[in-house]
Structure 1
Amino acid sequence: MKVSYQWLSQYVDVSGYTAGELAEKLTRSGVEVDVVENRNQGVSGVVVGYVKSREKHPDADKLSVCKVDVGQAEELQIVCGAKNVDAGQKVPVAVIGAKLPGDFAIKRAKLRGVESQGMICSAKELGLNDKLLPKEIQEGILVLPPDTEIGASILDVLGINDEVMELDLTPNRSDCLSMLGAAYEIGAILGREVKLPEEAQQVRDQESGVTAADRISVDVSATEACSHYAARLIEGVKLGPSPLWLQNRLMAAGIRPISNIVDITNYVMLEFGQPLHAFDADQLANGHIDVRFAQAGEKLETLDGVERTLEPHMLLITDGTKPVAIAGVMGGANSEVTESTTRILLESARFDGGTVRKTSRQLGLRSEASLRFEKEVNPEAVIPALNRAAALIAELAGGQVVSGIVEKVVQEKRSVQLELTVDRVNGYLGTSLTVEEVAGVLKRLSFTVEPLGERSVLVHVPSRRGDITRVVDLIEEVARLYGYDNIPTTLMHTETTPGKLTKEQLVRRTVRSLMTASGLHEAITYSFTHPDHMAAYPGAYSGAKPVALAMPMSEERSVLRTSLVPHLLDVATYNRNRNMDDVAVFEIGRVFVTDEAPITKLPQEKLLLSALLTGKRSELHWTGKPGAVDFYDLKGVFENVVSYLGIEGVTYTAAQPEGYHPGRTARIEVEVGGERKVIGTIGQLHPALQQAKDLADTYVLEVELDLLDELTGERFAYRQLPRFPAMTRDMALVVDRSAAVGELLEKARETAGELLESIQVFDIYTGDRVGADKKSVAISLVYRTLERTLTDEEVSELHGRVVAVLEETFGAELRK
């Protein structure tokens, strides 16, 4: 919104302040001013002149020699090259000594041998935005109205001695999209009264005595999109140019003057913030107006000469038979005001902002009117703006205003009343304001304030301030007008709690860090997948039904995943297709599980940790041959995780879940409350699935991370480094091939107790030397205590008990 300093001074006394100072105060109060532009770009010494005669230059076909009266004792002889200069015109004249933009000084000169005592100027030469002027004026000198005073300063005539503040408004401050809204803001800041135009009295003085309701009618069919529609009828109008003062006001606001009728509607829109539209009343069937939604495929040629195809959600102004305007956006060419127009139906209405916004965006038509309707205009400005425009049309276009307003009110705007206590204001702002001071600030904004008690007031919010709906909005008004700089800075008085990660967040970060440290790369894949992926690899939740999306991006992303592994397989395939066969990746993500099809309630969300290894564990090197990854590589990665988290009692039991290799897969279990609980699966993919994906031997892990959270203690336990030496004992036990090595280790650990620091299998042998149904398991046991050095006797005694228990429990024999 561009606010002219001179125009603003008509509504509020701004004496004693420059435009720059007002801009500073506005910005400090919360209404940002982007820039203050001086309309005078360096013009001085330019006056109004009267061209008394024009003759052809004797030595130049394109030059004219003019005699010009500028109000001085002698006429000036000026050589001019403009095509449109002619005798009888009033024009801007830069006399000798004048300056034009660019520090261009006017001096005496001879053009083709003829003396020139000045320069007749165009709008562009005066530093004006000539694009806001008619094309014929852009290409030649600026011709002034015939009643312009000779010798008057062009700065006053064209309003160039003005400054314009450009407001950068936030969406909630639509009240400042008008000169009156800006005046209310400046008046509140300066503590000065706002003077409103007396539009109603001016209309009554010029009414013709005929009733408008006898000649025009209004109906609103689309009641949900138009809450108020009002119209006035003006007869006997004559289209012509606007007076210069009105053109100056519009150009200062960045709007091009067109004609007196159109300019008046734009002027009042800028003044009140209420868009208006003028129809040629004779082009409306029976003078009727009906506001309705468009019909599918309905067309209308708008004022810009483009035929628009309309849709049913678009709001139209019609005459009952045909559309004549797109409500709040642009009028139709079939009801345009032209030179032959004598009767005008003047519209002022309140349309739904959302409807106008959607229509404007879809048609690519964004106007000053649509901008204001989108942000919801002041409902109480509909009638005042209508009367103001009617009065100006009667004054400047010679029309007679027909008595009465024809209107349709669908819904009255409810006024906002809020009870405000001074204690709440001070509580929010940290101030010590009194109830009188709070009321005084709100009264400066022209709010009506009624006392309710010693510490509270009832505030009636004017309809122009649609952004104020809650008590906190009022407190914000008090804060910005009291002055943010005046609000004291106070320290917080409260208990503070240091921020920290939750246990779940800590476990998740730790797992991510451990997996990365083990050489795996983290992958992040879509939560959506193809139904066939889930069928080929059901994962941990084989009975889960895929949850279909209502509006999928594509068939490839049409259901919610129930496992992370299918997408990790896609990652492996993607890399293999690019000659990167060695892949080690993991992902932490959620899957969605339900047994319903179709679903009637939200699926369960499970947080999983999945990992995939395929290819070689190391690169080709002269020190050794690279080996392919196997089951134990992935098992070691996971064991590192559970060991760091302090989870004990994890065992691996042979299993044959769908999608896995039947002999190289294990179920991961842990003892919880005396019961074995399955927390995940680890193993090789089924050969058929590997072949379908064109992958080498591939090993995957899938574990419920939520269960790891539950099994992890509140704090990770760290042990000090041992100060005393350890003693190692090795043994090779011959047991049945069916004996589980994990059970052997668990029994040994249980028997040895706290003195056993670690236990590890370092060899397994099967062959003729131990029998066809036997195997030899070589185990290394490390004994140590943090309190003292163990003696050889007690270690030997303890180790003997371990061997005896294993022999008794598993029928083991020491291999010699």
Structure 2
Amino acid sequence: MFVSYKWLQEYVDLSGIDANDLAEKITRSGIEVEGVECPSDEIKNVVVGYVVECEQHPNADKLNICQVDLGEGDPVQIICGAPNIAKGQKVVVAKVGAVLPGNFKIKKAKLRGEPSNGMICSLQELGIEGKITPKEYAEGIFVFPNDVEVGSNALAQLNLDDHVLELGLTPNRSDCLSMLGVAYEVAAILKKDVKLPHPKADESNEKATDYISVSIDAKEDNPLYIAKVIKNVKVAPSPLWMQTRLMSAGIRPHNNVVDITNFILLEYGQPLHAFDYQRLGSKEIVVRRAHQGEKMTTLDDVERMLSSEHLVITNGQEPIALAGVMGGANSEVQNDTTTVLIESAYFNGQIVRKASKDHGLRSEASARFEKGVDPNRVHAAAERAAQLLQQYAGGEVLQGSVIAGEMNREPKKISISLEKINRVLGTTLSTEEVTAIFTSLKFENVVDGHTFQVTVPTRRGDITIEEDLVEEVARLYGYDRLPTTLPVGVAIPGGLTKYQEKRRVVRHLLEGAGLYQALTYSLTSEEKSTQFALNKRESIGLAMPMSEERSFLRQSIIPQLLESVSYNVARRNDAVGFYELGTIFLKNNENELPEEREHLAGAITGLWETHEWQGEKKPVDFFVVKGIVEGLFKKLSIESSIEFQKAKLDGLHPGRTAKILFNGEVLGIIGQVHPQLQKELDLKDTYVFELDATYLLEKEASPLHYEPIPRFPSITRDIALVVDSSVQASELANIIQTAGGKLLKDVHLFDLYEGEHMELGKKSIAFSLTYFDPERTLTDDEVVKAHEKVLNAVKEQVNAELRG
């Protein structure tokens, strides 16, 4: 649930508390706030501009030269390529010096010979997702209504200076799937009152019952159905403030009628549906189960095959909506709609869930019905819709509502003693303190001695037993204020061994890097049993295998991970990263059981990073996987003992493969899968690694060594060395490090060049060398002497020359 801080202020006084402080208080009370975002934080210098003139660019068919008034005197010239730009519009303008999302800075420019002093923006360029922008502005720039002030802050007009709290709700807290529900929660936390809307529309003399009748054949599925009729509606865009609130909640604006129903869904948590009265085809609404094999076309223009387990709204003959899920295309509100029928109903969550699941239609409405809506808001939501349609669509509300069915959902009454609350929580709360908590929650309560008689409002359907009330007291009192006690018992609680702790560190790091844990078969085919093995031995076959493909014990995990990657890629999951911490089996003597060792392996393919807004895509490569492995070594504090050595191994690319050495002993392998094997598995570039985890995790890590922050400056020298193509960068780095002595603190490779300006068989490798003494400031002479030793060493040992 996305909650607008500004919108929330209309229901609860939030003065003196900012959005981040509020988020922390909500999280402490038991509802996790997963994030707080303010879209305007990374946008600067964006205003409302007025297009005074708009003419076609003389040198470009798709560009226009616009003279734009920014409210600062003379208009400025801006070149715009949007297809919907026109004279007389009020638009979003990023002035020269403005900053847009992604740190995109607006500068003066020339486009096809004409100067441009700024940029006329679309909503997408302001960071709003294309899927939630109004359709008429999905392509092109955004146009403001005429009542906005030229030169005013465009971000404020678009509500982008608002803070949006993302609530991670558990299924039991469906009451907070509405702004009013969140308002009750926040009011309880802050000990403040809730300001509720009081909808009231002026009604005409005509009666709604003269226009429509409602009957319910499936009363268990739909105990209550309310219809209101509004005439003379003018379908148009909804007010800008309403559109921006919908977009901040992740809902695309359509028109004033549809937007009002979505607005009330967010405000009350009660889904509504608007029918075009003239397109109903009758003057009656019948709610029933669908006939087996009955068909209807929903608003997404998909024909749906219905069954007797689905609930439908009909015009007495054919379905016009799939109850609680989606309306029908045959009764959709369109631009020529003048009379609207508003549906507000209570549908059984299970029947809605069944239809939603069967048709793959999970909507904001179905999610709320599934989790449970407040039955006492059904009528209020319909009245609120009528009020807003009268206010923002010019509608004429017909007298009364057409109501079918009834709901007698009385608030639950639960008794609980003060002694039980304190006993369960380990507190010493007084009667007054508990009463204050129930009152802040707007729960009516009466104290009889030391027993509370609590009336729970219908909006809190999650509270049904005494323990629920105990939880309410605990979270409003403060989980952090509850006393802590140690477990009492004879046995001492166990702990993790160092090996187990390291194994957990490995899992956390790899999952943090974006890899998913896989659990693959330990059994494989004879061909794959020794493939990629670090310590290849004779294959171990089963005496009674279930199949030929699972007849041998594996000596490497990589083949099984590649099977998983291939399986996913074949199903259009193109970016895949798996790891497995599992067992491999090595044969001993004939009469001995095989040696079991734990190995860690990973396989990654596809795009590693995708920043669609910036147009950046980074496919996985050797250095991405190497970086993950190096991060693991650093986390285990063994990076100083690790060395990567070029290697050629069966099944891996001959030029992109390395052995991983730990203190000179082979610890694992890393590299790209051989192109031939990739082709057999129908994979693109795929990279793998495998480490002997038993050996790795049993090794003691180097003790942490802290050094004081240096007080003296370091000196950096860059060198580019021309060497034979066969010389490896690591070899050069080791020579440099050794020759540099104690003053050389860091050797960093930053460039490799092989091209037309380089002699055949040669390459240029550039390093950055940092010289430093923690005790004093180095002189130029000292650095020159050390640097000359480095240059002499690389010349003598690998015949390296400084690149001119």
Shifted more, 135-144 versus 292-301: the winner is: 135-144
The answer for the alignment partner of 2:395 in structure 1 is 399
Q: Taking structure 1 as reference, are residues 280 and 184 closer, same or farther at Cα in structure 2, changes over 3 Å only?
A: same
Shift of 1:496: 6.1
Give deviations 1:181-214, integer Å, cap 9, x for gaps: 1111111111111111121x3x2xx211221112
- Mapped pair 1:213 → 2:213: no
1:226·1:410 contact (CA, 8 Å) conserved in 2?
Answer: no
What CA distance in whole angstroms lies between the structure 1 residues aligned with 2:492 and 2:73? Answer: 86
What CA distance in whole angstroms lies between the structure 1 residues aligned with 2:137 and 2:333? Answer: 22
What CA distance in whole angstroms lies between the structure 2 residues aligned with 1:576 and 1:293? Answer: 49
Alignment of 1:165-184 (within 5 A): 165-184=165-184
1:50·1:68 contact (CA, 8 Å) conserved in 2?
Answer: yes
Q: Taking structure 1 as reference, are residues 260 and 576 closer, same or farther at Cα in structure 2, changes over 3 Å only?
A: closer
Give deviations 1:120-159, integer Å, cap 9, x for gaps: 1111222222321244423211111122221111111000
Percent identity of the aligned residues? 53
1:227·1:412 contact (CA, 8 Å) conserved in 2?
Answer: no
Shift of 1:15: 2.1
Shift of 1:393: 0.8
Shift of 1:285: 3.9
Shift of 1:44: 1.6
The answer for the alignment partner of 1:128 in structure 2 is 128
The answer for the alignment partner of 2:279 in structure 1 is 283
The answer for the alignment partner of 1:423 in structure 2 is 419
What CA distance in whole angstroms lies between the structure 2 residues aligned with 1:254 and 1:619? Answer: 65
Shift of 1:619: 8.4
Alignment of 1:221-300 (within 5 A): 221-300=217-296
2:280·2:330 contact (CA, 8 Å) conserved in 1?
Answer: no
The answer for the alignment partner of 2:331 in structure 1 is 335
Shift of 1:352: 0.5
Give deviations 1:482-531, integer Å, cap 9, x for gaps: 001111123567x86999xxxxxxxxxxxxxxxxxxxxxxxxxxxxxxxx
1:318·1:325 contact (CA, 8 Å) conserved in 2?
Answer: yes
Shift of 1:96: 2.7
TM-score (norm 2): 0.61
What CA distance in whole angstroms lies between the structure 1 residues aligned with 2:545 and 2:157? Answer: 75
Shift of 1:5: 1.1
Q: Taking structure 1 as reference, are residues 110 and 161 closer, same or farther at Cα in structure 2, changes over 3 Å only?
A: same
The answer for the alignment partner of 1:33 in structure 2 is 33
The answer for the alignment partner of 1:710 in structure 2 is none
Alignment of 1:525-536 (within 5 A): none
- The alignment partner of 1:47 has SS state of strand
Give deviations 1:572-612, integer Å, cap 9, x for gaps: 9769999x9xxxxxxxxxxxxxxxxxxxxxxxxxxxxxxxx
What CA distance in whole angstroms lies between the structure 1 residues aligned with 2:463 and 2:24? Answer: 24
Alignment of 1:31-70 (within 5 A): 31-40=31-40, 42-70=42-70
The answer for the alignment partner of 1:561 in structure 2 is none
1:132·1:257 contact (CA, 8 Å) conserved in 2?
Answer: yes
Kindly provide the amino acid, as one letter, of the partner of residue 181 in structure 2. G
Give deviations 1:666-725, integer Å, cap 9, x for gaps: xxxxxxxxxxxxxxxxxxxxxxxxxxxxxxxxxxxxxxxxxxxxxxxxxxxxxxxxxxxx
Shift of 1:33: 1.4
What CA distance in whole angstroms lies between the structure 2 residues aligned with 1:474 and 1:576? Answer: 57
- The alignment partner of 1:46 has SS state of strand
Alignment of 1:507-586 (within 5 A): none
Shift of 1:83: 2.0
1:96·1:108 contact (CA, 8 Å) conserved in 2?
Answer: yes
Alignment of 1:366-445 (within 5 A): 366-445=362-441
Q: Taking structure 1 as reference, are residues 279 and 497 closer, same or farther at Cα in structure 2, changes over 3 Å only?
A: same
Kindly provide the amino acid, as one letter, of the partner of residue 210 in structure 1. E
What CA distance in whole angstroms lies between the structure 1 residues aligned with 2:290 and 2:21? Answer: 49
What CA distance in whole angstroms lies between the structure 2 residues aligned with 1:269 and 1:134? Answer: 18
The answer for the alignment partner of 1:521 in structure 2 is none
What CA distance in whole angstroms lies between the structure 1 residues aligned with 2:240 and 2:407? Answer: 40
2:282·2:316 contact (CA, 8 Å) conserved in 1?
Answer: no
Shifted more, 311-320 versus 78-87: the winner is: 78-87
Shifted more, 422-431 versus 443-452: the winner is: 443-452
Give deviations 1:292-351, integer Å, cap 9, x for gaps: 101111100000000101000100111111111010010011111111211111001110
1:67·1:75 contact (CA, 8 Å) conserved in 2?
Answer: yes
1:27·1:33 contact (CA, 8 Å) conserved in 2?
Answer: yes
- The alignment partner of 2:446 has SS state of strand
Give deviations 1:353-398, integer Å, cap 9, x for gaps: 0111111101111100000000111101101111111111111111
2:31·2:167 contact (CA, 8 Å) conserved in 1?
Answer: yes
Kindly provide the amino acid, as one letter, of the partner of residue 415 in structure 2. E
The answer for the alignment partner of 2:308 in structure 1 is 312
What CA distance in whole angstroms lies between the structure 2 residues aligned with 1:41 and 1:393? Answer: 34
The answer for the alignment partner of 2:149 in structure 1 is 149
Give deviations 1:389-447, integer Å, cap 9, x for gaps: 11111111110111101112343113201112111110110111111110110111111
- The alignment partner of 2:40 has SS state of coil
Kindly provide the amino acid, as one letter, of the partner of residue 472 in structure 1. E
Give deviations 1:641-681, integer Å, cap 9, x for gaps: xxxxxxxxxxxxxxxxxxxxxxxxxxxxxxxxxxxxxxxxx
What CA distance in whole angstroms lies between the structure 1 residues aligned with 2:288 and 2:112? Answer: 66
Selected match of 2:467 from 466, 472, 479? 472
The answer for the alignment partner of 1:487 in structure 2 is 482
Kindly provide the amino acid, as one letter, of the partner of residue 56 in structure 2. K
* Structure 1 residue runs without a partner (length 5+): 500-570, 581-617, 622-816
Selected match of 2:458 from 460, 463, 478? 463
2:289·2:308 contact (CA, 8 Å) conserved in 1?
Answer: yes
What CA distance in whole angstroms lies between the structure 2 residues aligned with 1:457 and 1:9? Answer: 32
The answer for the alignment partner of 1:80 in structure 2 is 80
Q: Taking structure 1 as reference, are residues 114 and 352 closer, same or farther at Cα in structure 2, changes over 3 Å only?
A: same
What CA distance in whole angstroms lies between the structure 1 residues aligned with 2:487 and 2:546? Answer: 55
1:41·1:127 contact (CA, 8 Å) conserved in 2?
Answer: no
Kindly provide the amino acid, as one letter, of the partner of residue 165 in structure 1. L
Shift of 1:41: 5.1
2:375·2:407 contact (CA, 8 Å) conserved in 1?
Answer: no
Give deviations 1:733-790, integer Å, cap 9, x for gaps: xxxxxxxxxxxxxxxxxxxxxxxxxxxxxxxxxxxxxxxxxxxxxxxxxxxxxxxxxx
Alignment of 1:576-725 (within 5 A): none
The answer for the alignment partner of 2:194 in structure 1 is 194
What CA distance in whole angstroms lies between the structure 1 residues aligned with 2:487 and 2:270? Answer: 45
Q: Taking structure 1 as reference, are residues 572 and 272 closer, same or farther at Cα in structure 2, changes over 3 Å only?
A: same
Q: Taking structure 1 as reference, are residues 619 and 155 closer, same or farther at Cα in structure 2, changes over 3 Å only?
A: closer
Kindly provide the amino acid, as one letter, of the partner of residue 322 in structure 1. E
Query: How big is the alpha-carbon RMSD for the aligned residues of Structure 1 and Structure 2?
Result: 2.4
Shifted more, 115-124 versus 462-471: the winner is: 115-124
- The alignment partner of 2:170 has SS state of coil
- The alignment partner of 1:342 has SS state of coil
What CA distance in whole angstroms lies between the structure 2 residues aligned with 1:59 and 1:577? Answer: 70
What CA distance in whole angstroms lies between the structure 1 residues aligned with 2:545 and 2:484? Answer: 58
Q: Taking structure 1 as reference, are residues 81 and 430 closer, same or farther at Cα in structure 2, changes over 3 Å only?
A: same
What CA distance in whole angstroms lies between the structure 1 residues aligned with 2:186 and 2:308? Answer: 43
1:285·1:320 contact (CA, 8 Å) conserved in 2?
Answer: no
2:184·2:194 contact (CA, 8 Å) conserved in 1?
Answer: yes
1:40·1:127 contact (CA, 8 Å) conserved in 2?
Answer: no
- The alignment partner of 1:40 has SS state of helix
Q: Taking structure 1 as reference, are residues 111 and 498 closer, same or farther at Cα in structure 2, changes over 3 Å only?
A: closer
* Structure 2 residue runs without a partner (length 5+): 494-541, 552-588, 593-804
TM-score (norm 1): 0.60
What CA distance in whole angstroms lies between the structure 1 residues aligned with 2:35 and 2:375? Answer: 30
The answer for the alignment partner of 2:95 in structure 1 is 95
Q: Taking structure 1 as reference, are residues 168 and 575 closer, same or farther at Cα in structure 2, changes over 3 Å only?
A: closer
